[in-house]
Amino acid sequence: TDYGSSLTVSLPAALQPHQPFQIIVRYTTADGPAIWWLDPELTYGNAKPFVFTQGHSVCNRSFFPCFDTPAVKCTYSATVKAPAGIQVLMSATQSSYLEEEGVYQFYMEYPVPAYLVALVAGDLIHADIGPRSRVWAEPCLLPTAISKLSGIVERWLTAAESLYGPYIWGRYDIVFLPPSFPIVAMENPCLTFIISSILESDEFLIIDVIHEVAHSWFGNAVTNATWEEMWLSEGLATYAQRRITTETYGAAFTCLETAFRLDALHRQMKLLGEDNPVSKLQVKLEPGVNPSNLMNLFTYEKGYCFVYYLSQLCGDPRHFDSFLRAYIEKYKFTSVVAQDLLDSFLNFFPELKEQCVESKAGLEFERWLNATGPPLAEPDLSQGSSLTRPVETLFKLWTTEPLDSVAAASSVDLTKWRTFQTVLFLDRLLDGSPLPHEVIKKLSECYSSQLDSMNAEIRIRWLQIVVRNDYYPDLYKVRRFLENQMSRMYTIPLYEDLCTGTLKSFALEIFYQTQNQLHPNLRKTIQQILSQGLNPLPAIDTTAVTTDTPAMVLEDKVSEATNGAISLRDVNVSA
């Protein structure tokens, strides 16, 4: 199963308490939830196979034997043998390479939880982008990565250090992964993993990398001891991310990004219902439930709102910064529970403890942690009004009946807007869909050509509006988008919308044409979406499928490794 089985080791009776001992486990591993093998056609360069691991939350037990809990931290070393021409990287502070043997040696000198042990291997080259940072990417992507990040990562690290103390991990490198990477980014220490698809969306790239930078303090140095309190890492990292963006890009930009995320939080609340237990900060983890299934916007944004509320109790965010520096210094390289954070907070601010702020009616700390529903308080975002007000004005022009303000609305040039302004506007239109046909027709006339030239974060939202409103004149753009996307984050939302409405046959047709360029895991997920409500169909050999095949593939045939010169399934890893 995904969760594996426990390994119990009986220790010798003669072993004395606290006496050091060594255990050697000899094991093999192939496919598993943590290990993603890619054939060359699933990479950007189509030249060499690729492999990466993704350990969060409880997947690394399929990678190596470990205490797979965030409560346990340890150092690690690893020896990796790989074919010539394959670059291997790990989340480690030290590394070396013996070229004649094709052997890499890695060592992480600081204790980390098992989920932060990560490996990537493939056709990767690097370039330095700062005094302690470099980017790794496939050769065809490296120039873009350099142009987007050169010089600014050091700016973010310096800002973070001024807020929360020294960066303790040595290097901060970034590796861009193929579109099969199942999430946007992962804060593996020393080596952030990030999906290459995000490179075209500058503002999302900024926010996502800064968030992973923030995890260097909150999540990696100090970790939530249980998966039931993931907000301790994600809520604090989100707060720190926004403090860093405020220092480097100003309060207005930070408030705009926050407004966009809180809009999404309330959208998720409407879908789930205010009484849903997953909206608690302290979620009860039932046996057999994958902790990753508990991660949602509440983990990030409700957690952020609680941390922001604590900062407001101090009166000055700089005072709260001082507390967080002390918190990191006290608990670094350990795992904590919520009470550790809150006790430290009250001890650092004795005047607040005397005022019994933890028991303030309606805002009790215990209620923040255990009540379902939206945050008990949200931040003041008025400093972002110069950026959010135009969005609100344009949205009202398009949604107020009668529709007699098209001239004013059409004069707005979205190409002059920030990405977060445009996605906030489109998300609100999505919330109101289906829209009157006349509105969607005029929207397309005004903005469709502008949106065509924008990044994927913007385009996917416009295409979701097209699908939810059955606007057939722009459906060819949905096809074109899906024909060029291999990423989960840019395919799943569109397939879900296509299959919810009347366009399932259109979705089936696109899937037939594109399935061979999708990772088997993503292909399987889309098949599940497409098969909902259909009668079971016989399995079809995917090797025989052409674009003219009229039936749907309901059983996934996972292709074996290609018989090329390099097979990464032969890589040997011992950790």
- Angle, in degrees to the nearest 10, between helices 504-514 and 520-531: 160
Q: Give the mean pLDDT of 331-347.
A: 98
What does the pLDDT read at residue 208? Answer: 98
280 or 542, higher pLDDT: 280
Q: Is 126 labelled a binding residue?
A: no
Range with the poorest average pLDDT among 58-62, 79-83, 124-128, 562-566:
562-566
> Which residue, among 213, 219, 178, has the nearest Cα to 198 in the 3D structure?
178
Query: In angstroms, what CA-CA distances link 55 with 82, 151, 198?
Result: 21, 30, 21
Q: Give the mean pLDDT of 128-141.
A: 98
Tokens of 222: 């100090």
What does the pLDDT read at residue 2? Answer: 58
> Which residue, among 250, 245, 244, has the nearest Cα to 217 in the 3D structure?
244
What does the pLDDT read at residue 422? Answer: 98
Query: In angstroms, what CA-CA distances link 100 with 48, 125, 492, 496?
Result: 20, 19, 44, 50
pLDDT digits 0-9 by tens, 355-373: 999 999 999 999 999 999 9
pLDDT digits 0-9 by tens, 274-299: 999 999 999 998 888 889 888 899 99
- For the chain, give the mean pLDDT: 90
Q: Are 40 and 49 in contact (CB under 8 A)?
A: yes
Range with the poorest average pLDDT among 45-54, 102-111, 463-472, 566-575:
566-575
From the CB of residue 257, how many other CB atoms can be counted at a distance below 10 Å? 25
pLDDT digits 0-9 by tens, 99-111: 999 999 999 999 9
Asked if pLDDT for residue 317 goes beyond 50, the answer is yes
What is the rounded distance in angstroms from the CA atom of residue 92 to the CA atom of residue 573? Answer: 15
From the CB of residue 543, how many other CB atoms can be counted at a distance below 10 Å? 8
What is the rounded distance in angstroms from the CA atom of residue 413 to the CA atom of residue 272? Answer: 35
* Cis amide leading into 57 (omega within 30): yes
What does the pLDDT read at residue 533? Answer: 57
Provide CATH code, domain 33-214.
3.30.2010.30
What does the pLDDT read at residue 546? Answer: 31
Backbone torsions φ then ψ of 127, nearest 5 degrees:
-150, 140
pLDDT digits 0-9 by tens, 463-501: 999 999 999 999 999 999 999 999 999 999 999 999 998
Query: In angstroms, what CA-CA distances link 188 with 126, 143, 215, 333?
Result: 18, 23, 9, 14
Backbone torsions φ then ψ of 261, nearest 5 degrees:
-70, -40
Query: In angstroms, what CA-CA distances link 571 with 33, 37, 87, 567?
Result: 17, 11, 12, 8
Q: Is 99 labelled a binding residue?
A: no
pLDDT digits 0-9 by tens, 202-222: 999 999 999 999 999 999 999
Domain ranges of the chain: 33-214, 226-231+245-379, 382-529
Please tell me the pTM assigned to this model: 0.92
Beta-sheet strands, E only, within 334-472: 334-336
Domains 226-231+245-379 and 382-529 share a fold: no
**Using CA of residue 195, residue 199, residue 201, residue 202, what is the dihedral sign?**
positive
Asked if pLDDT for residue 554 goes beyond 70, the answer is no
> How much of the chain, in percent, has pLDDT values that exceed 70?
92
What does the pLDDT read at residue 411? Answer: 85
> How much of the chain, in percent, has pLDDT values that exceed 90?
82
Asked if pLDDT for residue 186 goes beyond 80, the answer is yes
Residues belonging to the active site: 212, 300
Q: Give the mean pLDDT of 501-514.
A: 94
pLDDT digits 0-9 by tens, 398-434: 998 777 767 778 889 999 999 999 999 999 999 999 9
Fold of the CATH domain 382-529:
1.25.40
Fold of the CATH domain 226-231+245-379:
Neutral Protease; domain 2 (1.10.390)
Q: Is 211 labelled a binding residue?
A: yes
Q: Give the mean pLDDT of 236-245.
A: 98
Q: Are 324 and 336 in contact (CB under 8 A)?
A: no
pLDDT category, 534, cuts 50, 70, 90? low
